[in-house]
């Protein structure tokens, strides 16, 4: 199972839905977070009050059985294509009033999941819309 940073942040700071993420981690044989997601997790959890260091956060995730997947050249190329696709197929406006699109980290996470043939756990419903439209080749599970 590939984890989006939204799932990991929810777990670490016990946001809405963290129990669902924890339950998934207990059920799956393996879980991974693409490395760009780790940077996003560290930054976001710190913005929300977590005072742990980056290495402490990484170690806490390893303790939950989460592995880190390095991005490949193919992932980077695919992420660029995903960003372009997202710009031409935006989702409904979010809380900020802007249409939903993929961030760089989102695109890299999806690219890694596609390469590894892994489903993704995310809070981002826009990803499900992209999958249902056949615009990304990965199974999306939302919580």
The predicted pLDDT at position 1 comes to 98
pLDDT digits (tens, 9 = 90+) for 9-30: 999 999 999 999 999 999 999 9
Q: Which CATH architecture has domain 2-142?
A: 3-Layer(aba) Sandwich (3.40)
Distance (Å, whole) CA 110 – CA 118: 9
Q: Collect all residues with Cβ–Cβ distance below 8 Å to 94 and sequence separation of at least 6.
A: 100
CA–CA distances in Å: residue 28 to residues 4, 21, 22, 23, 79:
15, 11, 10, 9, 26
pLDDT digits (tens, 9 = 90+) for 41-64: 999 999 999 999 999 999 999 999
What are the domain boundaries of the chain? 2-142
The predicted pLDDT at position 39 comes to 96
What mean pLDDT value characterizes the chain? Answer: 97
User: Are 4 and 123 contacting, i.e. CB atoms less than 8 angstroms apart?
Assistant: yes
């Amino acid at each position: 199972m590939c984890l989006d940073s939204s799932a990991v942040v929810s777990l670490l700071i016990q946001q809405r839905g963290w129990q669902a993420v924890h339950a998934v981690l207990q059920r799956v044989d393996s879980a991974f977070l693409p490395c760009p997601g780790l940077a996003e997790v560290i930054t976001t959890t710190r913005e929300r009050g977590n005072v742990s260091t980056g290495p402490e956060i990484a170690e806490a995730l390893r303790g939950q059985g989460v592995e880190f997947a390095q991005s490949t050249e193919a992932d980077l190329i695919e992420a660029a294509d995903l960003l372009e696709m997202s710009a031409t197929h935006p989702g409904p406006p979010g809380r900020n009033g802007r249409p939903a699109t993929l961030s760089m980290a989102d695109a890299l996470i999806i690219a890694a999941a596609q390469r590894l043939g892994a489903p993704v756990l995310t809070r981002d419903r826009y990803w499900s819309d992209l999958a249902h439209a056949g615009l990304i080749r990965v199974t999306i599970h939302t919580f």
